[in-house]
Amino acid sequence: FFYKTSVTVKKTLQYNVPITSNYFFSSLCGSLKFEIRIHRLHHTFSTFLSHLFASLKIMSSKPKVVLAYSGGLDTSVILKWLSEKGFDVICFCANVGQHDEDFSAVEAKALHCGAIKCVISDLRKEFVTDYVFESIKCNALYEGRYLLGTSIARPVIAKEQIRIATEEGALYVAHGATGKGNDQVRFEMCAQALSPKISTIAPWRDPEFIESFKGRKDLLAYCEKHGIPVDAKPKANYSIDENLYHTSYESGMLEDEKVRPDESMFKMTTSPKKAPDTPEVVRIEFKAGVPVKISNLTDGETIKTDPLDIFLYCNAIAGKHGVGRIDIVENRFVGIKSRGIYETPGGTLLREGHLDLEGVCVDREVKRICETLSLEFSRLCYNGFWFAPEMDLIRHSINYSQRDVEGYVDIELYKGNVIVVGRHSDRSLYNADLASMDIEGGGEAFDYNPADSQGFIRINSVRLKTYAALRNACGNL
């Protein structure tokens, strides 16, 4: 920090020394700029000095940054690097359901590497109720295949990171996302929407950091130099992102789109080939489009009603039967195509159940509009616009459409397949008499005359006949 201070002292007839002064303290560190002004205050000279030195002490303290910390190689190096750059680093680790994560070890490593504090936040329930179930309600699917497992976790993490930064008085947040991926966009768009005054430090876009660390070898050398513990286990030849919604695998050997994934890498699902030979049937109950209960009809014993317990059981039962694996090439927001392998067992099960119940509870035209909203929801979530006004509009509209999505769906799970075997709703729009081929008309409740279809078809075919006439006239059928 550098300071410029101007002081003007005026003589008076009193014994003490009243002063008129302006003090300007401007930080030239990054984007941190603030100013303390004391204008035309009359103090004794000793009081003035005490205020001056107190201000200088405040101004000279290190700036705080809240780092999204995983305990891995990259973020551990970033933690030490930020400390060397003069920051007080507060590490933040989000528990969103990572498999077999030792959070006490993560905290200990963060403190060992120089963090002044490490905050571990259990976000699992919030993640399920406010993000995963929101995605299920609108049947979200990016590019027709991807259930948004990584994308949907970023807003809940960013929200907590900003909360901690605000609470700690930090003017910066930092992350370890690369400059080629989607996560840098997601974290920073969410952060800017939640707190525009907090700036983001992204080391993997910093020229000095990139020049210093050109690969894993440089990172390991830095760790050795600074005494940063490194996992002794051999590193997998691909990257993994995990939360309770899904596990994703990409990069490394998987960048060759022809390479088949190794069976040993999967964490949440059994291979369909090795899944049980006996199917199981579960009943999922929904209210306002949200899962409220799951029962195992096969064992007759298992019942879950807590939102987190429901989802964890969905993962367990669907994963057991090999449900939820995909291998795709998708389009990143930054313009790069990326190959990703995903396993999302619970999400696949719940989405199929919700889709089926909507079939009996939602009006045809409302359903058509919701399908469009679902596409937009998926695109916005994938691209990092969770806290955007257009996303608020979509979510409110989806909530309105789900008022009558209430009832249950029975689903059979068998060797990677999710098979709906029955459904019921007290708010169903389905009428068996009206749909029956064995009952003339619409039954007692509806006045439906099949003969009316003739006029219906004739009116709807007018534009088709007009178009055909034009093609004939042009000689182009």
Whether 461 has a pLDDT exceeding 80, the answer reads yes
Q: Look up 251 and say whether it is catalytic.
A: no
Considering the candidates 21, 70, 74, 374, report the single residue annotated as catalytic. Answer: 74
Considering the candidates 21, 70, 151, 154, report the single residue annotated as catalytic. Answer: 154
Contact 187, 158 (CB under 8 A): yes
Q: Look up 433 and say whether it is catalytic.
A: no
Q: Using alpha carbons only, what angle is made at residue 414 by residues 411 and 415, rounded to the nearest 5 degrees? A: 145
d(CA 239, CA 260): 15
> Considering all CA atoms of the chain, what is the largest pairwise distance in Å, rounded to the nearest integer?
111
Q: Which residues contact 130 (CB under 8 A, 6 or more apart)?
A: 156
Q: Which residues contact 10 (CB under 8 A, 6 or more apart)?
A: 18, 19, 20
Beta-bridge partner residues of 91: 67, 118
Q: Look up 186 and say whether it is catalytic.
A: no
363-418: pLDDT as tens digits: 999 999 999 999 999 999 999 999 999 999 999 999 999 999 999 999 999 999 99
Sign of CA dihedral 383, 145, 68, 204: negative
162-218: pLDDT as tens digits: 999 999 999 999 999 998 889 999 999 999 999 999 999 999 999 999 999 998 899
- The percent of residues in the chain predicted with pLDDT above 70, rounded, is 86
Considering the candidates 55, 212, 239, 428, report the single residue annotated as catalytic. Answer: 239
Considering the candidates 83, 183, 356, 401, report the single residue annotated as catalytic. Answer: 183
Query: Would you state the pLDDT for residue 190?
Result: 97
Q: Considering the entire predicted model, what is its pTM?
A: 0.84
* pLDDT tier for residue 17 given thresholds of 50, 70 and 90: very low
C-alpha distances out from residue 477 to 48, 126, 472, 473, Å: 92, 57, 6, 9
- The percent of residues in the chain predicted with pLDDT above 90, rounded, is 76
Q: Give mean pLDDT, residues 338-352.
A: 97
Query: Would you state the pLDDT for residue 55?
Result: 52
Q: Using alpha carbons only, what angle is made at residue 115 by residues 111 and 121, rounded to the nearest 5 degrees? A: 80
Q: How far is CA 248 from the centre of its chain?
A: 13
285-323: pLDDT as tens digits: 999 999 999 999 999 999 999 999 999 999 999 999 999
227-259: pLDDT as tens digits: 999 876 667 788 899 999 999 999 989 999 999
Whether 22 has a pLDDT exceeding 70, the answer reads no
Q: Give mean pLDDT, residues 53-60.
A: 51
Query: Would you state the pLDDT for residue 52?
Result: 54
d(CA 412, CA 318): 10
Q: Cα torsion at 464, 469, 474, 477 (round to 10°)?
A: 50
What is the rounded average pLDDT for all residues in the chain? 88
Q: Look up 183 and say whether it is catalytic.
A: yes
Q: Which residues contact 346 (CB under 8 A, 6 or more apart)?
A: 244, 245, 311, 312, 313, 314, 315, 318, 319, 324
